[in-house]
Amino acid sequence: DMPQRGPLDVVESRVRNLLIDQADLRERAERTRRKEEDARKALLLAVVGVKDAAEAFLADAQAKAPDAAPTAHLGDVVRLMARLLAANQVEEASALGREPDARWHRIVETVVDEATPDGRVTREFVKAYLWMGELLRGGQVAVARRGE
């Protein structure tokens, strides 16, 4: 014989089940939020890559033909991408002329440069970007060193 459950036992059991369901829903919501954040991050990384490629192409095109009309249009595209990134809290973490930040920049080259203080960034091969203050993409830089 099973003991009879009173109304309080039934309520307690239902509350326990509701708490379990609530914890499960919170876990599902968190997984969904992380998935959406990962997808957004991937999209922003793609935009960063396209923006960098467009900027490099624009710089090269302007060096070859500064007054060419296509460069003006490409400049508009670069500005639109920059606005899109800014609207999504993505910012460049430039180190040009400064010491690189080890959290965001990896030194991939040193350049002998008597005019620049040791350890200052002279070139960014890959720009570093932050998203909401966190690293989105790390940068690769060249730093100066005095000749021997």
Of the candidates 111, 110, 53, 105, the residue with the CA atom closest to the CA atom of residue 78: 53
Residue 90 and residue 106 in contact, taking contact as beta carbons nearer than 8 Å? no
Alpha carbon distances (Å) from 139 to 17, 108, 112, 127, 132: 50, 10, 20, 5, 17
pLDDT score recorded for residue 148: 65
pLDDT at 1: 62
11: helix, coil or strand?
helix
CA of residue 107 relative to chain centroid, distance: 19
> Is pLDDT of 7 > 90?
no
Mean per-residue pLDDT of the chain: 90
> What pTM did the predictor assign?
0.72
* pLDDT surpasses 80 at 72: no
